[in-house]
A and B are shown apart, each in its own frame.
Chain A
Amino acid sequence: MPQLEEVTLDDLKHLVSDRALAGETMMLNMGPQHPSTHGVLRLLLELDGETVVNCIPDIGFLHTGVEKNMESKTYQKAEVMSDRLDYMNPIGNNFAYCLAVEKLLGLDVPPRAQAIRVILAELQRISSHLVWVGTSALDVAAMSVFLYCFREREQILDIFELVSGQRMMTTYIRPGGLWRDVPVEFEKAVRDFLKIIPQRIDEYEALLTKNPLFIDRTVGIGKISAEDAVNWGLTGATLRGSGVNYDVRKFAPYSGYEQYDFDVPLHTDGDVYARYLVRIAEMRQAVRIVQQALDKLPAGPVRSNDHKFVPPPRSEIGTSMEALIHHFKLWTEGFNAPKGAVYCAVESPRGELGVYLESDGGPKPYRVHFRPPSLDNLQVLPLISKGHLVADLVAIIASVDIVLGDVDR
C-alpha cells in the first residue's frame, strides 16, 4: 500500500493568515466525507476558536472526465453522460446539451416537444428545490421538513418514470425533440401534483419561514452584495437573493419560455434567509409555468422530421427503405455536424448551466464544455464564510446549493 503523505501548508501559504503559520490558529479538515458538505467537498478551515478565519475549498473528488469522454462518443451517445453531471437536474442537463446540438445543426423542435420540455424542466426545478429545502433545513437541525419534501419529490420522480422509464437518469430529451410522446396518464399525473403542491409549499413555509430558530440560524449569515455577486459570477437563486435580476429564462428565452407568464423572485438581503425565500418563491413560479404549459399543450409530433439527424419512427422502418437507411446510419456512425462552435445556456435550478459545443465536421463533438453553475457558486464560499461560526458555514454551504457532480464533472 502507498504510504500516507505528510501534509504541510507549504502549497497553501498564500491562502492562510500568518497566525496559522505561527500556530496560533487551528487548521481543520472538513470533509470530503461529511454529511453537511452535500457530497464530496473537502474544506480546509483555518479556525480561531470556532470562528472561520479562512476557508479553502478542495474539489475534484467526483471528477470523472465527462468532457473528455464525450469527445470519443457520437452526439447521441454522448448525451447519456450529461445526465450524470448535476444529478439533481438530469432533465436540465439533457435540455442544455440538446439545445446546443440543435443550434449547431439548425434543427427545429416541434412546439409540443418544446412545451413538454418546459413542463419537465420546471418539475425538475421543483424537485431540486425540494431536496434543497429539505437538506438545508436538516443542516440547521429541522428534521421533519426533509421527510415532507422527499414525499413530494417522490411524486415528481414517478412522473419522470412514467414518461421515460427512469426516475433520475432519464435521457428523455433528445436532439430534435423527445424520445417519444408522453403517455396518456401524464396529464392527470401532473395535474394531481399541481393540485397538492401549493398547499404543501405552504406547509414547509409554516415550518420554517417564521420559525424563530430557523431565522436565528439564517438571517444575516453569509451575506454577499449585488456587485460582488455579479463579479464572482454567481447565478441562480444565489444571485437573485442579492437582488440581481438575472434569469436565463428571461435574459435569453429558449424553448418557448417567452410565452409563459411568470415572475423572477428577487430579494435584496443577500443572506442565507434571502436565498431560502427566493427558492420557495421560485417553486411557486414553476407551478405557474407548468400550469400554463399544460393548459395550452399543443398537439402534434414530438420529434423533428429531419431524418438526417433524428431517427425515423419505428413503424416506418418496416415499410420505407429510406427510413431503414437513416435508422442504420444514425445508430452506427451517427450524424455529421457542420463545423463551428456554439454556446447555449439554460436556467438550471442552480443557475446558468451553459454548454459550449464545438464541431470539427465529424460525428463526434470536438469539444464539449459544461459551464456548471455550482462551480462559480462554490468559489465564493471563502468570501462569504469569513468571520462566521463553523455551524453557520454549514448553513452557508447549503444556501449556495452546490451539487458536487456538477462542480467536478
Chain B
Amino acid sequence: MAETLATIVEQLAKEFDGQVIEYAGEASVVLPLSRIAEAVRAIHGNFGFDMLSAITAVDYWPEENPRFHLFYRFNSIPNRMALNVRVPIPGLEPVAPTITDVYKSANWNEREVYDMFGIRFTGHPDLRRLLMPHDWEGHPLRKDYPLGYEEPQFSFNYDEIDVRKPHAGQEPPHGAAGPAGV
C-alpha cells in the first residue's frame, strides 16, 4: 500500500504545484493556498479519500510569511491509506477556503481553527466560535497569546478583582450598567 500512497502524494504535488516533505516515515504534501479547494475536491473524488479525519493549524509566529500552517488529514477507508496535507498561510488577515462542501465534518473543525487561531474560512456556513465564549477577544492558540491565569471572581470579591482585569476602566460590554450589587 505504501507505494500507491507515494504515487498519490507525488501526483498531487505535481498537479497542484505542491511539494512533498517526509518525516518519521510519513509523507505530507504541502499545497499552495490558492489551489487547496480544487485539490481537496480531487482528494475526495479522484483519489477516494472518503473521510476527513482532522483539521488543525500551527502558528509559527514571529514568522510572518507564512505564519500558519493548516494541517489536514484524510483517510481512505476502502484503500487503507491516510494522507497528510499542509497549507501555508500568511499572517496578515489569514483566510482559507472552506471544505465543508466536500467533507461535512469540516464544519466544527474549521470553527475550532477559527476560534483558536483566527483563520477565517470563506464560504463556511456557520463560522462562529466553537469552544471559547462568543464575546471572547483574541485567539488562544496563537503563539503571541500569553498563557495567562485568570483570577476567579466570587460574589464577595467581584469588584475588588474586577479593577485588576485587562478591561478595567472601560465601558462595560453590551451597555450593562456595571456591578449591580449582590
Residue numbers of A with Cβ under 8 A of B are: 1-3, 5, 11, 14-15, 59-60, 63, 65, 67-69, 71-72, 103-104, 106, 228, 230-234, 244-246, 251-252, 340-343, 345, 352, 354, 356, 358, 366-367, 369, 371, 375-376, 379, 408-409
Determine the distance from Cα of A28 to Cα of B128 in the docked complex, in whole angstroms.
Answer: 20
Can you identify 22 A-B contacts, CB atoms within 8 angstroms? Answer: A1-B155, A1-B158, A1-B179, A1-B181, A2-B172, A2-B176, A14-B125, A14-B126, A68-B141, A68-B145, A68-B147, A230-B77, A232-B105, A233-B51, A246-B51, A251-B77, A341-B28, A342-B24, A343-B54, A345-B53, A371-B73, A379-B105
Q: Which residues from chain A contact B155 at a C-beta distance below 8 Å? A: 1
Nearest opposing residue in chain B for A340, CB measure? B23
Q: Which residues from chain B contact A366 at a C-beta distance below 8 Å? A: 58
Pick from A14, A342, A379: contact of B23, CB under 8 Å: A342
User: What does DSSP make chain A's interface, helix, strand, loop or mixed?
Assistant: mixed
Is B140's beta carbon under 8 Å from chain A? Answer: yes
Is B174's beta carbon under 8 Å from chain A? Answer: yes
Cβ contact within 8 Å between A354 and B126: no
Is B152's beta carbon under 8 Å from chain A? Answer: no
Q: Which residues from chain B contact A409 at a C-beta distance below 8 Å? A: 131
Determine the distance from Cα of A67 to Cα of B132 in the docked complex, in whole angstroms.
Answer: 14
Residue numbers of B with Cβ under 8 A of A are: 23-24, 26, 28, 50-54, 56, 58-59, 71, 73, 75, 77, 80, 82, 84, 103-105, 107-109, 112, 116, 125-126, 128-134, 140-141, 145, 147, 155, 158, 172, 174, 176-177, 179-182
Q: Which residues from chain A contact B174 at a C-beta distance below 8 Å? A: 5
8 closest Cβ contacts across the A-B interface? A233-B105, A60-B131, A340-B23, A371-B54, A369-B56, A63-B131, A379-B108, A3-B176
Cβ contact within 8 Å between A343 and B147: no
Q: Which residues from chain A contact B109 at a C-beta distance below 8 Å? A: 233, 375-376
Determine the distance from Cα of A59 to Cα of B129 in the docked complex, in whole angstroms.
Answer: 10
Cβ contact within 8 Å between B26 and A342: yes
Cβ contact within 8 Å between A231 and B50: yes
Cβ contact within 8 Å between B147 and A60: no
Cβ contact within 8 Å between A340 and B24: yes
CB distance from A360 to the nearest CB of B (A): 9
